[in-house]
Amino acid sequence: MGFGRIFFFIFAFALLEVLVLAKVAGLIGWPITIIATVVTALLGSYLFRRQGLETWVRLNQRMQQGDMPGQEMVEGIMLLLGGALLITPGFITDAVGFALLLPGSRRAMARKVIEKGTLQGFTTMQGGGFTYTSHTGQGPNPFQQPPRRNDDGNVTIEGESRRE
């Protein structure tokens, strides 16, 4: 995507946000609109810290168990994006930001990203845990056994490889 397209997208989105803010302000008044914008930023900051800590704890637990924390990694990225969107003034960004910060919708979106996104090549969801699949997400499982943690704390993944 070229710079011109990116600039146009940002400009069009900012214009849309201003139009929505003006429409809302016309209905409820500018002072209440400004207060609502500040309150959503503060609430977003609180949710970001709280949900971020919970996600960080789950990520650490998964890693200590030797599991692939793909879900938690995707959720962490979504939390960062959601927090940034809530700090940005505007009701459209607030709606998307809250969707990314609320646990139910964030987890559902993270599962979709893993199923269809770039992490699919390394992990797939199955029964609440992760099953290791081939780098293309297709074909037989190349790993003989799931990863296990050695006495020294390192994770070992046994399997076979071949050059194609």
Label residue 154 exposed, middle or buried (CB < 10 Å: 0-12, 13-18, 19+). Answer: exposed
Instruction: Tell whether pTM > 0.85.
Output: no
- Contact present, 96 and 83 (Cβ < 8 Å): no
What is the CB-side half-sphere exposure of residue 111 using CA atoms within 13 A? Answer: 11
To the nearest 10 degrees (0 to 180), the angle between helices 103-116 and 30-64 is 60
Q: Looking at residue 119, what is its pLDDT?
A: 54
Name the token pair of 16. 């849309």
- Helix axes of 30-64 and 70-87: crossing angle, nearest 10 degrees: 160
pLDDT for res 96: 92
Q: Tokens at residue 88, please? A: 């940005």
- Tens digit of pLDDT at every position of the chain (164 positions): 688 899 999 899 999 999 999 999 999 999 999 999 999 888 888 888 888 888 888 888 888 888 777 788 888 888 888 888 888 889 999 999 999 988 899 889 888 888 876 554 444 444 444 444 434 444 444 434 455 666 776 766 666 667 77
Q: Long-range CB contacts (< 8 A, 24+ apart) of 38-42?
A: 40/86, 40/94, 40/97, 40/98, 41/86, 41/87, 41/89
**In this predicted structure, what is the pLDDT of residue 148?**
62
Q: Which residue matches tokens 């959601």?
A: 82
